[in-house]
Chains A and B, each alone.
Chain A
């Protein structure tokens, strides 16, 4: 179908955008990449009276890598972050997970920050932000800027902490610790579809290449990403011979998925275990390869 009518705003600066958003309040919606919003408009599942197009705010087209983090501005496209060598080197989980977001064609337009604010339960990037304990920077005309930790940003299915009148300016993904590795794995009905279940894992190794700490974040098994500490199952075990299945059992026990038309709750729980085991093993191997690359 065709989208419903809306008033179109094209602010040229961030203060102008914030002024418009304050003015339109609950009736306004930010248009960034539009790869989730425009389908909702076309299917008439959303009908905001005002769209505020932030694609012209060049100052938000930013991928900044420093010794602490990768900072991604509000209109940096998935494809740009995916192919940014410095970002992939600093926070490998970003490119690992972005490769599973839809297809190249969608990643050419969709934005990292837009995916985070949209907060789809099947989306990859919310889990990445939570797993890395990142931060969102949000601004409003009256309230200045505020920083929201990942753990407080995802409130429910399709519900983030961004309030009407606010604009998410950037997402900050901290560099994972030294001696760490990461992996992203997911199962979808078809390549590029929404994940039936997806799991990201971050593993830290000690100097003897034994697992020191491990943590997973799982998607499509709850309204927001579910983080699971895997350290109890893996700590002290060799990087290539830990009990990955035990880590999987921890994750499967920690999630509370629901049935839907794509999969039963039991199958999603099963996938959580299998994918966590695979991702943990791959993350440990990745930690070793990063260490060898750095040496």
Chain B
């Protein structure tokens, strides 16, 4: 017996999609397998590592703990949507490059989305606040020092861009 499929409308990085998925399709797998957006990474699949974090209506959430059918109609932002409006690296991505905030890069999409969402509400964080903000994201390479520096640098880049605009 094949599983019933649910026609589901999603808006990802501003682009509308319609997918036909079984109810148990995790959002992370829907993004990767059904939509080909492989920037979202799947690490632990039980909500601990944070690699699969995406923005749902602007708020960071674990896409391995959401069903695609359950976020129908929501505005989703993945790491692919964190680039600069004209193409190229967005401010958070640029900051991670500037500060050497990644090594193997597996966890980075989750950091970029988490930090992008968080900085909108905390534009001028302290180092302690930046460290706390990434508490739900695991990185096994860097030791986090450069990631904390990246968060602060991203805040600086965003403030500069807004000041210039």
Q: Which residues of A contact B (CB under 8 A)?
A: 1-8, 10, 31, 34-35, 38-39, 41-43, 51, 53, 55, 79, 102-106, 108-109, 191-192
* CB–CB B46/A39 < 8 A: yes
B93 in contact (CB, < 8 A): no
Digitize B2-35: 1 where CB-to-A-CB distance is under 8 Å, 0 elsewhere: 0110100000000000000011101001000000
Pick the contact of A108: B3, B45, B61, B135 (CB < 8 A): B61
* CB–CB B24/A5 < 8 A: yes
* CB–CB B50/A105 < 8 A: yes
State in angstroms the CA–CA spacing of A53 and B6 once bound together. Answer: 14
Indicate the size class of the contact surface on chain B.
20 to 34
- Main secondary structure, interface of A, reads loop
* CB–CB B70/A105 < 8 A: no
With contacts A42-B46, A108-B59 known, what are 10 further pairs, Cβ within 8 A? A7-B4, A35-B65, A42-B65, A103-B50, A103-B136, A105-B53, A106-B62, A108-B60, A109-B61, A109-B65
State in angstroms the CA–CA spacing of A39 and B62 once bound together. Answer: 11
Digitize B24-64: 1 where CB-to-A-CB distance is under 8 Å, 0 elsewhere: 10100100000000000000011100100100100111101
User: Which of chain B's residues have a CB closer than 8 A to the CB of A39?
Assistant: 46-47, 65
User: Which of chain B's residues have a CB closer than 8 A to the CB of A192?
Assistant: 135-136
Q: For the complex formed, measure the closest distance between the CB of B110 and the CB atoms of chain A, giving whole angstroms.
A: 9
Chain A residue with Cβ nearest B136: A103
User: Which of chain B's residues have a CB closer than 8 A to the CB of A1?
Assistant: 45
State in angstroms the CA–CA spacing of A39 and B4 once bound together. Answer: 22
* CB–CB B6/A8 < 8 A: yes
Given A191-B135, A192-B135, CB of A35 within 8 Å of CB of B23: no
State in angstroms the CA–CA spacing of A8 and B67 once bound together. Answer: 10
B118 in contact (CB, < 8 A): yes
